[in-house]
Chain A
Amino acid sequence: DAKTTQPNSMESNEEEPVHLPCNHSTISGTDYIHWYRQLPSQGPEYVIHGLTSNVNNRMASLAIAEDRKSSTLILHRATLRDAAVYYCILSYGQNFVFGPGTRLSVLP
């Protein structure tokens, strides 16, 4: 499985946008870029995924670099409930391989 690199932790103020980066320089042409998050004491939950084009949904936006070697998860207005560990995962089909992720703290 292709590897991803994320910062260990990030901080944001409530109501401000958050940009969570992910590097994946060894991504293959068929790998989708997935983002999951794990709130305290819960299992991971889906946030967003994409292949080549930028993606938007009600939770977040995913900006994918033109060469696909990096991506950024954008939370447009962070809330306290967004405090979680965010995982950037590359996958085609089955087997999601979780890295350490980025622990996001949101300050009131």
Chain B
Amino acid sequence: SAVISQKPSRDICQRGTSLTIQCQVDSQVTMMFWYRQQPGQSLTLIATANQGSEATYESGFVIDKFPISRPNLTFSTLTVSNMSPEDSSIYLCSVEDFKPLGTEAFFGQGTRLTVV
């Protein structure tokens, strides 16, 4: 299993500013995933972050708005740039453990972002 720590757990930010969310895993992993969960909604994948390469973004998400860093195999950051109230969501970091009998995903507790 993997234990994931996210910081901050919550924040209230002014529109137009940026927030960087940190994700720390207690073991080395190849891929890390960032999700967004808008109020009352399910999770939507933002991007996949591999160490040593550019993150791969899903449709509707762009690097200028959500830049991601992946400096090593246990750490990643997601920045929410030039925030607007529509960015108010929970942002979650995830890793996956690939096993012969199926993959298991582990999630952080999430970062609850409110933009005012």
Residues 23 to 57 of chain A near chain B (Cβ within 8 Å): 32, 34, 36, 41-46, 49-51
Which of the segments A13-21, A63-71, A97-105 contacts the partner chain?
A97-105
Q: Residues of B contacting A95 with CB < 8 Å?
A: 45, 48
Known: A94-B48, A97-B45, A99-B42. Is A46-B103 also a contact (CB below 8 A)?
no
A79 to B33, CA, bound (A): 31
A87 neighbours in B (Cβ, 8 Å):
42
CA distance A51 to B100 in the complex (A): 12
B105 is an interface residue with CB less than 8 A from chain A: yes
Binds A, one of B11-19, B67-75, B80-88, B107-115: B107-115
Q: Is the interface of A mostly helix, strand, loop or mixed?
A: loop
Q: Which residues between 36 and 79 of chain B lie within 8 Å of chain A, taking CB atoms?
A: 41-45, 48
B43 and A44 contacting across the interface, CB-CB below 8 Å: yes
User: A96 to B42, Cβ gap below 8 A?
Assistant: no
CB <8 Å contact, A98 and B43: yes
What residues of chain A have their CB less than 8 Å away from a CB belonging to chain B? Answer: 32, 34, 36, 41-46, 49-51, 85, 87, 91, 93-101
What are 10 contact pairs spanning A and B, CB under 8 A? A34-B102, A43-B92, A44-B43, A46-B105, A46-B106, A95-B45, A98-B42, A98-B43, A99-B42, A101-B42
Q: Which residues of B are interface residues toward A (Cβ below 8 A)?
A: 4, 31, 33, 35, 41-45, 48, 92, 94, 96, 98, 101-110
